[in-house]
Structure 1
Amino acid sequence: MRSFRNLITPLVALLLVACAADDKNLIPEDLSETELYRKAQSALELRNFGEAVDNLRALESRYPFGSYAEHAQLELIYAYYMRQEPESAKATAERFIRLHPQHPNVDYAYYMKGLASYTADVGLMERYVEIDMSRRDPGQARDSFTEFAELLNRFPESPYATDARQRMIFLRNQLSLYEIHVADYYLKRKAYVAAVNRGQYVVENMQRTPAVPAALAVMVEGYLQLGLDEEAQSTLEVMRLNYPKHPSLDEAGNFIGYKRFDDVDPSVWTIISFDLIGGGEAETPQPPASSD
């Protein structure tokens, strides 16, 4: 098996080098700036994002100070994202923001950076299989939330602001559900103080999210297990008042034990909400048309 791997590795490397060389040869060196730009536009219209990336990169490297250079960088962000290369999309967006902070369309770079951050760690299988995204590591979701917030802070009137706000609601809901999954983990391992702290964090910092009722139930369960009956009773009163139908309560409002937070339709939290697979949401917007 080791010898087979040793044979495959250099073959793969050679194949990649050959493909890279072929890509360079696909774009004639004598193409003008306008011709390269038109080729890139044609590829984008045909949704041939690989070809679009090649032409936009060639345009950027051959004519870095040309009339299409800045807009080509914006379109390269889009092409990378649609090619499912979010890391490259994010890096290109960050470079555009750094080089052109006063560009009239820099808000688009901020917006795409937020999209790319969220999808940066999504694997191939996750793109096509319905999964509960709230169980994923929340790091990218937090980054995306922060980046959309920066867009809204800098450009509150941006045409992308409304969509960014909606995505922030989605992300906040997802982050709150992640906290409950962690609390479940702590309860299973009888780490009751840690579980209560997670529930309390959701109640205090993530109000109006779908995780709040479960967070209250986690707190009641944790307090009871810790023998803190007074704290459990006061939290239970809040539950009875606001969520009388929660599965942790019986018809009389008595606490019958924490029910794991597994009654949410996973499709609500799938990557469909970020346009990776078709699901009724608007397509990822292309950058505004160039004024050149």
Structure 2
Amino acid sequence: MRGIDVSDVRWKNPLRRGLRAAAVMLFFSLSACGGNSADQVDLTPDKPAEQLYAEAQEFSQNGQWLQAAAAYEEVERQHPYSELAKRAQVEAAYAYYEGDSYEEAVGAAERFIDLHPGDEATPYAYYLIGLCYYEQISDVGRDQDMTERALQSFDEMVRRYPESDYARDARLKLDLIQDHLAGKEMEIGRYYETRKQYVGAINRFRNVVENYQTTSHVPEALFRLTETYLALGVRKEAQSAAAVLGYNYPGSIWYERSYALLEDQNLQPAEDSGSWLSNLF
């Protein structure tokens, strides 16, 4: 036997049809009376993308960065497939950066990179991520997590886009970051040295000499190696450190101090072909 079509019964029954019409009318009347209820559906038409973008730009020009970021994100929310939506993503990241909301800026920039890996603005998005971490670098006496993140971000940016407009500045900042990290190593090394933990100190000074050769801390690191090797009685390494220091930084105050230390023990700077220092330089 043929089954009953429930939908036919519902619509063809006059009583049910009348009840349904009444229910629909009641729904709209309640919605109209609901005022600002949280459950009320917002039926306001979307603004044109151009208008939203212009409003966001006005916020930016007035220095209202967080309002600008929210407005740029609204462009994408209301018009996700428009060309302005893509541009607004980058602008939102920059606005968050200017507003010191670095975490939000990084999130917005990373999202842009994920969605548009081949876009012409992608190098800038990488650069902006590096800037966010760079702005949060603390002094050498504190944790250097942000310094490491800035280093990784700028390094990736330069590696991926070496000819981009932002690569030159990224390289300059990489040099400053390297110097900052070397300074942190020197601080820890000096701390160990003052407590006569010479092996720990040597490891820190050696790290500076080996991995941060272009920084301003290398001359002092070589002097500290001379000092700590002498404290341990490892004279050949001390003489080698002083010799390398004198050869590479002959006019440095650190070489004068190293030479004086050796002279006090009737020693002279002398290169040792078997030393790690000689092989390094």
Q: Distance in 1 between matches of 2:253 and 2:140?
A: 21
Residue number in structure 2 paired with 1:108: 124
Select the residue among 21, 27, 52 that pairs with 2:68. Answer: 52
Residues 54 and 241 (structure 1 numbering): CA distance in 2 closer, same or farther, change over 3 Å?
Answer: same
The answer to whether 1:166 aligns with 2:172 is yes
Letter in 2 for 1:150: E
Q: Distance in 1 between matches of 2:89 and 2:114?
A: 12
Letter in 1 for 2:67: E
Contact 1:250 1:256 in 2 (8 A): no
Quote the offset at 1:121 in angstroms. Answer: 6.2
Contact 2:154 2:174 in 1 (8 A): yes
Contact 1:117 1:140 in 2 (8 A): yes
Contact 1:60 1:69 in 2 (8 A): yes
Residue number in structure 1 paired with 2:134: 118
Residue number in structure 1 paired with 2:209: 203
The answer to whether 1:134 aligns with 2:150 is no
Greater than 6 Å deviation, 4+ residue runs:
none
Q: Distance in 1 between matches of 2:258 and 2:229?
A: 21
Count of matched residue pairs: 220
SS at match of 1:254: helix
Q: Deviations over 1:23-66 (max 9, x none)?
A: xxxxx875322211100111112222122012112222222222
The answer to whether 1:231 aligns with 2:234 is no
Residues 136 and 246 (structure 1 numbering): CA distance in 2 closer, same or farther, change over 3 Å?
Answer: farther
Residue number in structure 2 paired with 1:254: 260
TM-score by structure 1 length?
0.69
Q: Distance in 2 between matches of 1:29 and 1:53?
A: 21
SS at match of 2:259: coil
Letter in 1 for 2:161: F
Letter in 2 for 1:76: A
TM-score by structure 2 length?
0.72
Residues 252 and 98 (structure 1 numbering): CA distance in 2 closer, same or farther, change over 3 Å?
Answer: closer
The answer to whether 1:220 aligns with 2:226 is yes
SS at match of 1:208: coil
Letter in 1 for 2:180: Q
- Higher RCO (CA 8 Å, separation ≥ 6 residues): 1
* Structure with the higher fraction of residues in helix conformation: 2
Q: Distance in 1 between matches of 2:262 and 2:235?
A: 15
Which shifted more, 236-245 or 92-101? Answer: 236-245
Contact 2:106 2:132 in 1 (8 A): yes
Unaligned runs of 5+ in 1: 1-27, 123-132, 258-292
Residue number in structure 2 paired with 1:194: 200
- Structure whose CA Rg is larger: 2
Unaligned runs of 5+ in 2: 1-43, 264-281
